[in-house]
Amino acid sequence: MPESSNVQPAEQQRESSGPLRTAVIVNPVRVEGLDALRAEIVERLTAAGWPEPAWFETTAEDPGTGQARRAVEEGAEVVFVAGGDGTVRACVAGLAGTRTALAILPGGTGNLLATNLGVPTQSVEGIRLAMERGRREIDLGESDGGVFAVMAGMGLDAAMMQDAPTALKARAGWVAYLVGAVKHLADPEMKVEVHVDDQPVRRRRARTVVVGNVGRLPAGTNLLPDADPDDGLLEVAIIAPRGVRHWVQLVVGLFRGDRRVPSREVVRGRRISVVSDRPQSRQLDGDVIDRARRLDVEVRPKALWVCVEQPDESEDLAAGSPERG
């Protein structure tokens, strides 16, 4: 993934170096040791002179969006999120367009946004990043009234997420998605029309079409090695392997992060419409949405602040900060 010029160091993040108001949103189903996590967060924040955070738990009815909006309304400047990719996406929806920064405490199955932004997998490191005040302002994708920070997809990728065994996901993580994929390898190809901005329509046969804000997937694979989460563009991967040889070439290329991979066509743009010849499974950041013949996506540039590692002082940094207006 290309280096970003939009990571802000601590001294540019806030005019004041004083304590920030925070909130914590946790998915109690996905996060083990809630009491220990809460104690660790409170201990580290109070030791630095920061106030104790507000604490919210997700529910089946509200997986995080409402809690994130409430945290913003109550004045939180940083929102810690502990859970899987679905929890993160729900909280992103509540933080999008605000000046409140997302601090990811990775958990669950994929942790794809954290992986793509270089956020460490240990919760204690996620707390450290927030307190050191390194921030990155990233784009989001919007589709069907929902937002995503990682990828949206139509076809095989959404079908395998829908059919990945829940119990296996809890035990074996991303391996469960391989099981889901095997169930659909024999599905017929889609006939799709891919519309990207004002470019000529691309008519293709494909197994899946993925629209990505970032490119890294589980197990070290990289679907979109040139994807940059703050360039104002989304990348579109049209995946069309035919036969075992193509599948092998595709998988090997993804593991190596090759920019030229057989059976993968990549274009980029701001507005994307994928139209299939029949209803298809669809997903936003791993959350399956209603089947449909269309997937319409538009980029929302610079829509979310995320806590990340601070850059080296020698790096050439862009100006700007997530100060409250």
The band of 250, judged by pLDDT with boundaries at 50, 70 and 90, is confident
- Which of 152-156, 216-220, 319-323 has the highest mean predicted lDDT (pLDDT)? 152-156
In this prediction, residues 235-250 reach a mean pLDDT of: 88
Place 49 in a pLDDT band, splitting at 50, 70 and 90.
Answer: very high
pTM summary value: 0.86
Residue-level pLDDT at 261: 87
- Name the residue among 247, 275, 276, 274 with its Cα closest to residue 262: 247
Structure tokens at 148: 């995503």
Where exactly does CATH 3.40.50.10330 map onto the chain?
7-138+302-307
Strand (E) or helix (H) holding 159:
helix 156-163
Asked if pLDDT for residue 321 goes beyond 70, the answer is no
The model's pLDDT over 121-157, given as tens digits with 9 standing for 90+, comes to: 888 889 999 999 999 999 999 999 999 999 999 998 8
Q: What is the mean pLDDT of the chain?
A: 85
- From the list 98, 118, 72, the residue with the least C-alpha distance to 229 is 118
Proportion of the chain above pLDDT 70, given as a percent: 82
* pLDDT number for residue 27: 93
Average pLDDT over residues 245-267: 86
Domain 146-301 sits in CATH at 2.60.200.40
Q: Looking at residue 314, what is its pLDDT?
A: 38
Stronger pLDDT, 95 or 29, i.e. the higher one:
95
Task: Read off the pLDDT of residues 167-176 as tens digits, 9 standing for 90 and up.
Answer: 544 554 554 4
* Per-residue confidence (pLDDT) for residue 229, from 0 to 100: 97
Which of 14-23, 25-34, 68-77 is predicted least confidently?
Answer: 14-23
Beta bridge partners of 77: none
Per-residue model confidence (pLDDT) at position 171 = 54
Percent of the chain with pLDDT over 90: 62
> Is 307 in a helix, a strand, or coil?
strand
Instruction: Give 289's Cβ-side CA count (13 Å radius).
Output: 19
Taking the CA atoms of 35, 37, 41 and 46 in sequence, report the sign of the dihedral they define. positive
Closest by Cα among 115, 109, 100 to 222: 115
| C-alpha to C-alpha distance for 240 and 257, rounded to whole angstroms | 18
C-alpha span between 193 and 202 (Å, rounded): 6
Going from the C-alpha of 272 to that of each of 201, 209, 269, 310, the distances in angstroms are 11, 11, 7, 33
Confidence of residue 13 (pLDDT cuts 50, 70, 90): very low
The hierarchical CATH code for the domain 7-138+302-307 is 3.40.50.10330
Q: Where in the chain is the domain with CATH 2.60.200.40?
A: 146-301
For 220-238, what is the mean pLDDT?
A: 95
